[in-house]
Amino acid sequence: MPDSANGSPLRVALLGCGVVGTEVARGILTNPIDLEARVGAPLELVGVAVRDLATERDPVVPRDLLTTDAEALVDRADLVVEVMGGIEPARSLILRALRGGAAVVTANKALLAERGPELFEAADAAGVDLSFEAAVAGAIPIVRPIRESLAGDHVRRVLGIVNGTTNYVLDRMTTEGLDLDEAVAQAQALGYAEADPTADVDGFDAAAKAAILASLAFHTRVSIDQVAREGIRGITADDVAWAARTGHVIKLLAVAEVIGPVDDGEVSVRVHPALVPVSHPLATVRDAFNAVFVEAQGAGPLMFYGQGAGGRPTASAVLGDVVSAARRRLTGGQGLRESKDQDFPVLPAEAAITRYQVRIDVEDRPGVLAQVAGVLAEHGVSIDTVRQVSASAAVHEDLAQEHGTAHLLVTTHAAREASLAATVAAVSALEPVREITSVLRVEGS
Ligand SMILES: NC(=O)c1ccc[n+]([C@@H]2O[C@H](COP(=O)([O-])OP(=O)(O)OC[C@H]3O[C@@H](n4cnc5c(N)ncnc54)[C@H](O)[C@@H]3O)[C@@H](O)[C@H]2O)c1
Ligand SMILES: N[C@@H](CCO)C(=O)O
Ligand code: NA
């Protein structure tokens, strides 16, 4: 088992040398004096595990540090930084490192959201640190504030913009009136979105982060398959225009909240597009930035904002974890362990409670509004506001061509997802209802 003696260097192994790994290597290799001052001992990068030794790389990474034998590298490290991504071999290598007594720093949200408990148990069994600040919202310090700064408080709710690509896409739709495909193409051209944008656009990346945030915030275990997930594919330029008209912007949100008492409730964890009032701090988050809005019982509202992706920003978070973990190697002991004592049940998607805005095209004649309102009342869904815009006053010229159609915007009070779904089905079956043009959740009001 590798260990460090006081004064001798702490051996750091880097697994993966891509966008983030290269910047982590740069940080360790170009900043040794500062890091030593923070840690209390020098950090020595002892190797960088790569898939292919021949790949052309940034010259900051010395070729003689490269190896394809990741296991042997792990075995001679005090501290392992995993930035290769994916489930395997990252999982096996992290387990190997932890069981061998090395501290691990990872940026791998997908692995944590899928196999977190197994990794945390291995860390606890070995009494070593498993740190992952970079896994949620990149550079933004959010894992540590929730785990440590708020450890004496009760978090009730977390609302996060935790995927930069989709925030960029929605922002372009909002500010330039682009449709979804055009905005995704722009995000791809700028290198935000991958050639296959599924992980971002369909909300998988945000769902992994939501699972991690919920687990931390509520001292419970939430895995990615318990997160209700809906991406932004269904969002149209029309939805964005109507959102603006009603004083909202559309954001892809990761929502985690306790329903009921903070010590005996249930948690709802979900990712979906939502209407956010323009007055809410999250509405101001532009471009590919991330932000996490936390509501805690004692602290009240808190907002954490910054860059959620990119090599240097993400490496900043990784290096912060490296310094903390290295420091604890010297001083002894483990940092905060996995906190899971609450063991809250996770509500199924249909039991989530939120407000909705439903946009309905109806025949513009007497009694129709009353009929729609009656269906909501029958289903126990309480109306907050109703706004009717006759087609002649519609936002788009094409809508203005229609005759005898009114656009109803019904905003509800908080309702169960299942009740809302049943209500929408019943409304759409009404004879004067031409089309339900959109159903969007409303958050942050
Ligand atoms: N890029 C970001 O902005 C960002 C932000 C937050 C978190 N992360 C996370 O950081 C991790 C790395 O992301 P990235 O953007 O640097 O990815 P990347 O694809 O640029 O880099 C990953 C590197 O790991 C290498 N690799 C994969 N499997 C390997 C193996 N078996 N052995 C050796 N090398 C292997 C790949 O060849 C690649 O060079 C991922 O878990 C990602 O989710 C990335
Ligand atoms: N694809 C992610 C990168 C960080 O996980 C994003 O767009 O935010
Ligand atoms: Na972070």
Q: The domain spanning residue 38 has which CATH number?
A: 3.40.50.720
Residue nearest to atom 43 of ligand 1 (CA): 108
337 within a domain of the structure (yes/no):
no
* 155 and 246 fall within a common domain: yes
Among the options 11, 115, 209, 329, which is catalytic? 209
End-to-end alpha carbon distance in the chain: 53
The torsion angles phi and psi of 379, rounded to 5 degrees, stand at: -95, 5
Please give the distance, rounded to the nearest whole angstrom, from the Cα atom of residue 232 to the centre of ligand 2: 15
* 296 and 148 fall within a common domain: yes
Q: Is 86 annotated as a binding residue?
A: no
Kindly state if the Cβ of 313 falls inside 6 Å of ligand 1.
no
347 within a domain of the structure (yes/no):
no
Q: Specify the number of domains making up the chain.
A: 3
345 within a domain of the structure (yes/no):
no
324 neighbors 199 (Cβ within 8 angstroms): no
* 103 and 246 fall within a common domain: no
* 227 and 262 fall within a common domain: yes
Q: Is 439 annotated as a binding residue?
A: no
* Per-residue model confidence (pLDDT) at position 396: 52
Residue nearest to atom 4 of ligand 2 (CA): 309
ipTM of the complex: 0.98
The torsion angles phi and psi of 199, rounded to 5 degrees, stand at: -60, -35
* 164 and 297 fall within a common domain: yes
Tally Cβ neighbours within 10 Å of residue 125.
Answer: 10
Read off the CATH number of the domain in which 151 is found.
Answer: 3.30.360.10
291 within a domain of the structure (yes/no):
yes
Query: What does the alpha-carbon distance between residue 342 and residue 215 come to, in Å, rounded to a whole number?
Result: 10
Please give the distance, rounded to the nearest whole angstrom, from the Cα atom of residue 101 to the centre of ligand 1: 24
Query: What does the alpha-carbon distance between residue 88 and residue 133 come to, in Å, rounded to a whole number?
Result: 20
228 within a domain of the structure (yes/no):
yes
Kindly state if the Cβ of 165 falls inside 6 Å of ligand 2.
yes
* 319 and 271 fall within a common domain: no
99 within a domain of the structure (yes/no):
yes
Read off the CATH number of the domain in which 405 is found.
Answer: 3.30.70.260
Which range marks the domain in which residue 121 is found?
A: 3-138+312-331
* Per-residue model confidence (pLDDT) at position 393: 47
Q: By C-alpha distance, which of 399, 338, 280, 361 is closest to 143?
A: 338
Which of 307, 340, 362 marks a domain boundary? 307
Kindly state if the Cβ of 309 falls inside 6 Å of ligand 2.
yes
**Concatenated DSSP letters of 252-283:** EEEEEEEES-TTS-EEEEEEEEEEEETTSGGG
Kindly state if the Cβ of 89 falls inside 6 Å of ligand 1.
yes
Q: Is 251 a catalytic residue?
A: no
* 180 and 113 fall within a common domain: no
* Per-residue model confidence (pLDDT) at position 398: 54
Query: What does the alpha-carbon distance between residue 411 and residue 413 come to, in Å, rounded to a whole number?
Result: 7
288 within a domain of the structure (yes/no):
yes
* 190 and 218 fall within a common domain: yes
Kindly state if the Cβ of 200 falls inside 6 Å of ligand 2.
yes
Q: Where are the beta strands (DSSP E) in 190-247?
A: 228-229
Please, what are the averages of pLDDT over each run of 10 residues along the chain (445 residues)? 63 98 98 96 98 97 98 98 98 98 97 97 96 98 97 97 98 97 96 90 98 96 97 97 96 96 90 98 98 98 97 98 96 86 91 96 93 97 92 52 80 96 97 96 94
17 neighbors 315 (Cβ within 8 angstroms): no
Q: Is 109 annotated as a binding residue?
A: yes
Query: What does the alpha-carbon distance between residue 376 and residue 382 come to, in Å, rounded to a whole number?
Result: 7
Compute CA 396 distance to the chain's CA centroid, rounded to the nearest angstrom: 33
416 within a domain of the structure (yes/no):
yes
Query: What does the alpha-carbon distance between residue 276 and residue 264 come to, in Å, rounded to a whole number?
Result: 29
Q: Is 340 annotated as a binding residue?
A: no
* 191 and 241 fall within a common domain: yes
310 CA: nearest ligand 1 atom: 3
* 250 and 324 fall within a common domain: no
Q: pTM of the full predicted structure? A: 0.95
Q: Is 19 annotated as a binding residue?
A: yes
Buried b / exposed e along 136-173 (16+ C-beta atoms within 10 A): bbbbbbbbbbbbeebeebbbbbbbbbbbbbbbbbbbbb
* 114 and 195 fall within a common domain: no
Please give the distance, rounded to the nearest whole angstrom, from the Cα atom of residue 69 to the centre of ligand 3: 29
Say which residue the tokens 């009740």 belong to. 419
* 321 and 372 fall within a common domain: no
Please give the distance, rounded to the nearest whole angstrom, from the Cα atom of residue 317 to the centre of ligand 3: 6
* Per-residue model confidence (pLDDT) at position 264: 85
* Per-residue model confidence (pLDDT) at position 61: 98
Kindly state if the Cβ of 139 falls inside 6 Å of ligand 1.
no
Please give the distance, rounded to the nearest whole angstrom, from the Cα atom of residue 194 to the centre of ligand 2: 10
Ligand 1 mutation pick, 67, 74, 83, 114, max ligand atoms within 8 A of CB: 83
